[in-house]
Structure 1
Amino acid sequence: MYEEARILFNPREVSDFVYANHVVAAIEAEDGQIFTGFCMEGTCGVFHLCAERVALFNMYQFSGQTKVKKILAFRDKPPYGEGSGMPCGACREFLLELNAENKEAEFMMDYETRKTIKVAELIPYWWGEERATNWQDK
């Protein structure tokens, strides 16, 4: 996963207003396929797409899948330590909204030691749990 995401790492200014490729991510879907994405940030604030969400969009667009097994995100080097490579709140939320079972997906915290953390640990009291359970029962 790291090697596939690393190919996308190429920080650059796309324009006077947009910066891209400075954060990259790889996602392993339920069927084992790997999907990647990179971050794009715009100065207006509304236009900001995290690498994790781009990889999730790619997963859904190209395979129709919504369930994730593993996620790895980083800047200039593989995730290291507790804070490196952790997803923002919007990415955590989107993972759960895409599929509530993604609470079991693992984020790589430390590439060297292979330490991971489950999404459920990152967002333990998700507001949508009851709605998601009811939706899945329909």
Structure 2
Amino acid sequence: MDKWEELYLAAKPLYKPHDVSPFIYAQHVVTAIEAENGEIFTGFCFEATAGVFHLCAERAAAFNMFQSSGQTKIKRIMTFRDHVPVKGDSMPCGACREFLLQLDVANSDIEFMVDYQKRSTVTLAELMPHWWGEQRLTEED
């Protein structure tokens, strides 16, 4: 079993879309991430109409990783709904892309699964080629 299959199997049981209340919808997007040390962490999307507590699956998994282990570097991320990623239908939103780079600039090397059957991936650097934070990092050095 390759690491991508491990990630898929870790996240799949979390996929249970449901209304938590008339205002909150959860578990309709799930994620598994591989941390730098090889550990796998998972998370799911939690959407509240208030907007203040809208948490995407990727950020939930990264928070779980940091809370559990203190790690900030991520190797791989697989996000999906009711099926494995196909033709890029499971790319992270802009807020998640930004958060992952702010968590650790080395996360520009994260691989996101684009097409599970073909094992096609894309890096965060490819999704965010001109990240504004690079200038701030250069100024600090």
Q: TM-score by structure 2 length?
A: 0.92
Structure 1 gap ranges (5+) = none
SS in 1 for 2:14: coil
Q: Give the total of aligned pairs.
A: 135
> 67, 75, 82: which is aligned to 2:73?
67
In structure 2, distance between residues paired with 1:30 and 1:24:
20
In structure 2, distance between residues paired with 1:117 and 1:90:
17
Aligned counterparts, 1:1-138, within 5 A: 1-82=7-88, 84-133=89-138, 137=141
Q: Percent identity?
A: 61
Structure 2 gap ranges (5+) = 1-6
In structure 2, distance between residues paired with 1:57 and 1:134:
28
For the aligned residues, what is the CA RMSD?
1.0
Deviation at 1:20, TM superposition (A): 0.1
Q: 1:134 to 1:5 in 2, by over 3 A?
A: farther
In structure 2, distance between residues paired with 1:78 and 1:92:
20
Amino acid at match of 2:113: M
